[in-house]
Amino acid sequence: MAEKRDYYEVLGVAKSASDKDLKNAFRSLARKYHPDRSTEDDAENMFKEIQEAYAVLSDSQKRAQYDRFGHQGAGGNPFGGSGAGGFNINLEDLFGGDIFSSMFGGGRQRSNKRRGNDILVRHTIDMEMVLNGSSEEIELDLPCPCQSCEGTGAEDGDTTQCSPCGGQGRMRVRQQMGPFVQDVVKECRDCAGVGEIAKSRCQDCRGSGRDTQTETIRFDVPLGVENGTRMRMRGKGEPAPRGKGSPGDLFVELEVQEHPWFERQNSDLIMSLPVGFTDLMLGNTIKLPHIDGDDLVVKIPSNSSAGHTITIRKRGLPSSRGGGRGEVVVLLKLHVPKKLDKATKKALEQLRKVLSPKDIEARIRKDAEDRRTN
Ligand SMILES: [Zn+2]
Ligand SMILES: [Zn+2]
C-alpha cells in the first residue's frame, strides 16, 4: 500500500480546524468524490480516503490520538476489524435526508460493499413431522471464503484497482432496447462489482475466492408447517464477492412429502375410504392406523351412501397458527369387486330383487307420458 496521506491534508484543513470546519470540508469533498456522481478519476478511492479521515478527525478521542501518534496511533485500521469500508459515519445525518437520497440514488445497491447470494436448498419432511414437529440435522456442502486469501481471490490478499471500471465496480453501458438506445449502469464483470482485482490470483482457489465446506445445519420443523415454507439461516449463504461485504442467507425450503392416503387441506386431513355395499347398508366400524400412533376409528352409520363423509375431530394436523388440531374427513367410496365367484353371484341374484329400487322403469315411463299429454 502507498504511504498514507495525512488526514488533515486529505480534508484540506488546518490542524487547528474546528469540528464545523471539518464537517464543511468533508461535505464538499464527499459531494465532489462520491463515486455515484463523481466524474473525477479515482473517485472511489478518494471517497474512501475522505471518509476515513473524517471518521477519525470527527471523533475527539481518535483525533487526539492521531494528533499525538499519527496513523500508528490511530491504529492500522481505527474502525474495528471490518476492513476497508467499515466506516461508521452516518451520512444521512451529515447531509440531511434530501441530499442523501438524491446523492445516493439506489441506496445500498450502489455501494461497493456487496452481499453474497442467497442459497436455496430443499428438504423433504413427512406428515408425521408436520404433526409432531422435528429437530432436523442436515449436512450441506456450502460455499465459504477461501482461507488463504480471505475470499479476495488475490494472492496474499493483495488487490489493485480494477481498470475496466476504474474502481467503481460499475460501468455505464449503451444498450439497444427495441428502438431506443439507453445508457444503463451494469456491474463490472472483471471485479464482480467490487472495484478491485487481484494482483495475482490465489493459488488455492484459482482466484475465485471460494471454497466449500461441509456444514451441519440444524433447525426445528415447526408444528403444522405448510408445504413450501422457507427457513432462513442468516449468513449461511454464499460469501460476498471477493470477500468484500456480508454473506447471503441460506434458505431451507420444507417440502412435505405426499401421504399415500391422506390429502392435506390446511390442518385437515382428507381421505377416501373404499367400503363395501353392505358396510354402507348395515353400517360398520373400521379401525385404521393413524399418523399420530393411535387407531382412527371410522364409524359408518347404517344406510350411508357412497359420497358421504365422516368427520373425526381433533385428529388432523396442528394448525400452524396454533389452536389445536384439525379434522380427519373420511369420504366413503363404494368398492365394487371386479370379479365374483359363482356362489356370491348367486347370492347377489337373490338380493337383487330386494335391493333394486322398485318399479323405477315404470315410474320414469309414466313421467314421460304425463309430460307429453300436458
Ligand atoms: Zn471492475
Ligand atoms: Zn484463495
pLDDT at 366: 92
For residue 50, the model assigns a pLDDT of 87
* pLDDT recorded at residue 189: 87
Domains within the chain, CATH numbers bracketed:
7-111 (1.10.287.110), 119-158+199-256 (2.60.260.20), 263-348 (2.60.260.20)
For residue 61, the CA-to-ligand 1 centroid distance in Å is 36
pTM for the full model? 0.60
Distance 153 CA to ligand 1 centre (A): 14
State the distance from the centre of ligand 2 to the C-alpha of 145, rounded, in angstroms: 8
pLDDT at 73: 57
Nearest to 136 by CA among 239, 213, 225: 225
Ligand 1 center from residue 341 Cα (angstroms): 82
Q: Give CA–CA dist 44/152, Å, rounded.
A: 18
Confidence at residue 2, expressed as pLDDT on a 0 to 100 scale: 55
**pLDDT given at position 1:** 47
Contacts of 94 (CB under 8 A, 6+ apart): 23, 26, 27, 30
CA 241 to ligand 1 center in whole angstroms: 12
What's CA 70's distance to the chain center, in Å?
46
Give residue 109's pLDDT: 42
What is the pLDDT at residue 343?
A: 96
Per-residue model confidence (pLDDT) at position 236:
93
- Kindly give the distance from the C-alpha atom of residue 155 to the centroid of ligand 1, in angstroms, as a whole number: 18
Identify the pLDDT of residue 113.
Answer: 60
What is the chain's percent helix, strand, coil content, to nearest 5? 30, 30, 40
Nearest in space to 203 (alpha carbons), one of 191, 194, 211:
211
From first to last of the 374 residues of the chain, give the pLDDT tens digit: 457 889 999 999 988 888 888 888 988 888 888 776 677 777 778 888 888 888 888 888 888 888 887 877 554 443 333 333 334 444 444 444 333 333 333 333 445 567 899 999 999 999 999 999 999 999 999 999 999 998 999 998 888 999 999 999 888 888 776 777 778 888 888 888 888 888 999 999 998 899 999 999 999 999 999 999 999 999 999 999 888 889 999 999 999 999 999 999 999 999 999 999 999 999 999 999 999 999 999 999 999 999 999 999 999 999 988 789 999 999 999 999 999 999 999 999 999 888 888 888 889 999 999 999 87
Q: Which ligand gives the minimal distance to the CA of 191?
A: 1
